[in-house]
Chains A and B, each alone.
Chain A
């Protein structure tokens, strides 16, 4: 199993502020996914990054994949209460498509 370290574990910010979540590993992943999970539900895919150095934008969310494909970040601009949730990074590490999940970052955005 390839370890994915996610930080911080918890983020509480006010509406309008920016935040960044980090996902780091000593191993190379063929691809890396970011999910958001609401309580009592399954995770929902936000984005998949595949190429080293890749940057993807999804409205106010910006995702970056490190050049060496060992780390990634999620940046949210002008956070809104609707961004509240558990953010999970997950790396694909074998031909079956198995995912190794990070520990998750609980984000709380207060009005």
Chain B
């Protein structure tokens, strides 16, 4: 099946710094990618839809200036958490829309100290 990778798989950063997470579709082109956030013992919550070559659309309550999304190519979308705070600590998961289904990445564990 199609493969989506995320990098890094985990990251620890200090409060106030920025962190970039990459999401790549390895064997197919994805014009649309999605970013989700998952807190412990909770489900996935959609943060934003990333479309190649255009601005991302954010779900209600998600700050677009804090979570910067760039979909620079058909195989790469990046999420940058700016001025991270401890409450941003979470599991971030991306998915890429393939020809038949959404393919999920393995997730990135972000811990802000």
Contact = CB atoms under 8 A, between A and B. Distances in A.
Interface of A: 1, 33, 35, 40-45, 48, 88, 90, 96-104, 106
B102 A41 contact: no
Interface stretch (B37-45, B70-78, B80-88): B37-45
Interface of B: 4, 6, 32, 34, 41-46, 49, 59-60, 91, 93, 95, 97, 101-102, 104-107, 109
Contacts, number: 53
A41 B43 contact: no
B34 A48 contact: no
A13 B52 CA distance: 45
A46 to B, nearest CB: 11
B69 to A, nearest CB: 14
12 contacts: A40-B91, A42-B4, A42-B107, A43-B93, A43-B104, A48-B101, A98-B34, A98-B49, A99-B46, A99-B102, A101-B43, A102-B43
A41 B107 contact: yes
